Amino acid sequence: MIVTDKNYSLEKFVVHILDLIIERACKKRKLDALLLIDGDEGFGKTGLSILIAYYISFMSGREFSLDNIYFEPEKFLHKVNNSKKQILIWDESALGGLASGWQNKIQQMMIQTLMTCRFRQHIIIFNCPKFYRLNQYFVTDRSVGLFHVYSRDGIKAGRLTFYKKDWLEGMLQLWSKKRLKPYKKYAHKMFRGSFVDAFNLDIINEDDYDDKKTKATSELLEKFKVGKDSKTEQRMEKFRYIYATMEGMTDKEKADRLGISTRTISRWKELNEKNPLLATVKETADK
């Protein structure tokens, strides 16, 4: 169905779920709400979170802009603790370059805050790669449900399924005990559909989003001692440069595959100017 003043489409079941969240956080019970979105990189987590956040903003009167999207844990937690009735997106993607130990510490910081902030009536959307790698508190105790984004062919993004809160404990156990991904087993045809590309709408500029994410990622890597000279960063720079300069795909296709902008691809092509060794790496990869 067509929603908001931007006239974009959301599945009817998605609208129903979001209306219940608005009712919970903004009207009757006046509690907060934590909604999980997971899926592989480039398949639309960010886009779906923006569509959801804007719908909630439009229907509730709460503000939403790029300022409501956070990558740095300290800035996100400060906002949670020093405001009320916000729509906030926490995007875990910037943590990808950090060691698992640091990621666990950040999750513990999140838990401590979420345990005491219900009265603030925030609506929080939490983007993560795999929900079953989160602390159980987020999944079974705090979330109101999970959206999973995926692709039918491994290339084109824009598909989603929803999983009720009551199902999440069983899904979590299926992974933890049997190491089986639970998405197909718990999928229901009533909660399956598609969504549009949020960056084609006049909600948030994609380049501005990428710039904010890139800056936050660099700051996190620096703060947690994963700097330019680390093996992790070297591997990332090699991947970015080789990917950006590979033949057989246009810059637009490369960008769409990873869910980034063509401007970012262009920046990655210039990494060899900062690190001349990368040109040698590319020559070796081409052979």
Q: Which residues pair with 33 in a beta bridge?
A: 123
Q: 134 and 256: one domain?
A: no
Whole-structure pTM value: 0.78
Residues 114-159 pLDDT 10s = 888 888 999 999 999 899 988 888 999 999 999 999 998 877 889 9
155 domain residue, yes or no: yes
138 domain residue, yes or no: yes
Residue 186 belongs to what domain range?
A: 2-200
Axis crossing angle, helix 206-223 with helix 262-269, rounded to the nearest 10: 50
66 domain residue, yes or no: yes
Region 172-187: mean pLDDT is 93
Residue 69's identity, in one-letter code, is I
220 domain residue, yes or no: no
Q: 38 and 170: one domain?
A: yes
**What CATH number has the domain bearing residue 168?**
3.40.50.300
> What's the structural domain count of the chain?
2
Region 104-112: mean pLDDT is 80
157 domain residue, yes or no: yes
207 domain residue, yes or no: no
Q: 21 and 135: one domain?
A: yes
55 domain residue, yes or no: yes
Residues 217-243 pLDDT 10s = 877 777 765 444 456 566 777 778 888
